Amino acid sequence: MSSTPAPEAVDALLPEVARLIVEALNLDMNADEIEADAPLFGDGLGLDSIDVLEIALEVSKRYGFQLRSDDENNVRIFASLRALTTHIAANRSK
């Protein structure tokens, strides 16, 4: 089980994960335009399931752990940039 990362560690990692999303999806926006607590799906950033697969692949390459498509926590993990970053901070091996 992963531990809860310090809020400061999450805040420090937010810009890096935002850049990962922008680069992985070739988004036409700057990483600092992604609001930390805005939804990644629907009315927020507007991602879909294919986008999540692309992000999961990049996360596994960069941070050394797998995000599984059958994880029952995916809705929570991908709820926002902050949620995803918190999960990465808690589970990264790199």
- Distance from C-alpha of 18 to C-alpha of 30, rounded to nearest angstrom: 9
pLDDT digits (tens, 9 = 90+) for 42-65: 888 999 989 999 999 999 999 999
Ordered structural domains, the chain, with CATH: 7-91 (1.10.1200.10)
- Full-model pTM: 0.92
Residue 41 sits at φ, ψ, to 5 deg, of: -105, 165
Residue 2, pLDDT score: 62
Whole-number pLDDT of residue 73: 92
Does residue 66 contact residue 54 with C-beta atoms inside 8 Å? Answer: no
Q: Name, in order, each residue with C-beta under 8 angstroms of 67's C-beta and a sequence gap of 6 or more.
A: 55, 56, 59, 60, 74, 77, 87
Percent of all residues in the chain with a pLDDT value above 90, rounded to a whole number: 82
Q: How far apart are the first and last CA of the chain?
A: 17
